[in-house]
Amino acid sequence: MKPKVLVLFFIAILVLSACGQKTLSEPITLHNQDQKKVTFPLEKPTVFFFITTYT
């Protein structure tokens, strides 16, 4: 039963990834811990990390 579920999962991931956009149409804007807006450029690849804590 498990191999069938894994195959269906990978097929679903493949279909969902094929339906996505190739590029973003507008920049990504997030808020940092000081509530300042941070915008990520689209012209070059960007890696960003975020950490959330629940206290």
Strand partners, 30: 38
Q: What is the number of residues in the chain? A: 55
Pairwise CA distance, residues 36 & 8, whole Å: 42
Residue 18's pLDDT is 81
- Per-residue confidence band for 53, with pLDDT thresholds at 50, 70 and 90: low
Q: Where are the domains of the chain?
A: 26-55
* Residue 30 DSSP one-character state: E
* pTM recorded for the entire structure: 0.40
